[in-house]
Structure 1
Amino acid sequence: MSETETSHDDKSCVPADSPTLDNSSSCTQMEHVSLAPLSRVAICGGTHGNEMTGVYIVKEMQRKKVKAAGSLYVTPVLTNPRAVEVCRRYTDKDLNRCFTDALLSSPVTDSAPYELRRAQELNAQLGPKGGKEAVDLLVDLHNTTANMGLCLIFYSLDWLTLHLLKYMQNKISSVPVRAIQLDIPLSDAYSLEVVGKHGFAIEVGPQPHGVLRADIFNVAKKAVDLTLEFIQEFNAGRTFEGGEVEAFTLVKSIDYPRDSSGEITAAIHPELQDNDFQLLRSGDPLFLSFSGETVIHEGEDLYPFFINECAYYEKKVAFQLARKTTYSFPSVSVEKD
């Protein structure tokens, strides 16, 4: 995504005649945009079987037989039931890395990883990815062990997503509400939310894996309720005014220091721990080695997130770094017949 530096932050406008951001666009006058109504929404949980908030939000929706919310047909989906049953992130393969075009179209057999077969089942049920028959909006619920508050994570930034982010920011005050954008082509986008016409993950933390916290559950449940509330009001004809929101765009991942055998030799520095989304400047501490030496950040000032995420040790990621961008978006309302 093309960006213009403004101090540590960037500011982008997007074309008023497009529902999605265009990487090559210059700033233009924001005009009102009409979008198609959204009639089908999937609320998904348990993509990672030990992230308990989404598991129990979906189970509660299924228990109450939630199928409709005003103008919406709502489908609650427990996405990785085998992993949920054993309370593990996954059984064979990380399901939330199985939704690239290549993996969704690959031939599978009974000996293929369970999560790869499950990804294709979900794509058939809720998609297909990029298809006209896909659900209008897919929301996938996750937990992180990092101190990230409530985050919406998405690939393409469309008008609907930006409006939902702003709506949640105006309605939720108990935790910070932020957005993370993964600047990856749709064909290579790997997580479940890309199956819907619109989609995002909701990431809430800190919460240990395999543990359910009421405060974290309530924040995620509020975000789900606000999403459905927004869409009902949108479908009913309300005009939502334009505005601005910030998003953190992933730049790179940082691994732990390691020795020649691949063993970790340092932990996250105490001054960095729990300081997700706080600007990291050159010279700031990153790691504290087991022998007591400090490893500092060198280079561009960036924003860290997923700091010391438990599930990312296996991926050799200590934290990720992002740039902050401000996006302008137009007013929107539903298309009239």
Structure 2
Amino acid sequence: MLPWSVEFAGRLEEHVVSSELLRDNPLNDPHERPVLVYVPPGYDDEPGRRYPSVYVIMGYTGHVGMWGNRMPYRQPFPETADAVFASGEAPPAIVVYVDAWTAYGGSQYLDSPGMGRYHSYLCDEIVPWVDARYRTLDAPEHRAISGKSSGGYGAMITPMLRPDLFGALATHAGDALFEYCYLAEFPKCVRHLRKYDGDIWRWWEDFTSRASFTKEADMDLLNILGMALCYSARDDGTPELPFDPVTGVIRTDVWERWLTFDPVRMAPRHADALRSLRAVWIDGGTRDEWFLDVGAQAFRDALLDVGVSEDVIHFELFDAGHGGIDYRYPLALSWICRAIAP
């Protein structure tokens, strides 16, 4: 396998979108965002043909530029996705790679007074922008969303919130069953914060003054701070931690706010939207460090409980941890594209 890029059978186009919804966001992050759009082989040969679309969103601390990162003996997902279409394994589709980076590493693809309107940005700006410029099939039954980790979370919640746009999803180790994937992180953060007198902003000042991720605390505290900005920011944008940073005692009211965003708990409130889905891919590694395989199973069962047909769900657990599972993405892409093809 070559350690450098290959020639695409289709074409990957780079754009910059100027977002009005992200302009003047709370973190002063850029409102102009990169968007990558892949068109499959043959797109230019049939000018009257329209295509289904798959939106791909990144995990926490991810941005679209990272889709070009290369690991030894593996190809980046845009290349393996291209191979899916070049081989005829799946019917052709347009694939859209969306950026939702923030100063704190991500957005969970939610609208939040602490982060900005990233859910609306995705649904009300990026989707119409793509539909206006590419020959898409503009209907939820022909539009899917896919992601891993926090991207998998976004893939789970977006069709629940916007069934008028998305009719299929693929989630790889997506954040779910919050008491397992987040709660165990709280005491770790309390220990880390002892070095900062319980003040997470003192840690943030330290973090931004040096090379990132050079201390054990960095990823744990960044993740908790980012989630608090997404799930429990006050109206003025200030995040509330779901635990006392000194004693570790759970702040029940704040924790309950987090739980309302748990996809497993969201499912009963969005039963009609879930029952309308044409295809749902759910997977996770059985050694996932955040027990997101358990969350995956709970989400699958929550879908069944609200009446989603087992026939539209692909559920699979496999031997892996949380990282290095990018080889799963083209498998899901192929399966999803067959489901949303006209």
Name the structure with the higher strand share.
Answer: 1
Name the structure with the higher helix share.
Answer: 2
Q: TM-score, normalised by structure 2?
A: 0.30
Higher relative contact order (CA 8 A, sep 6+): 1
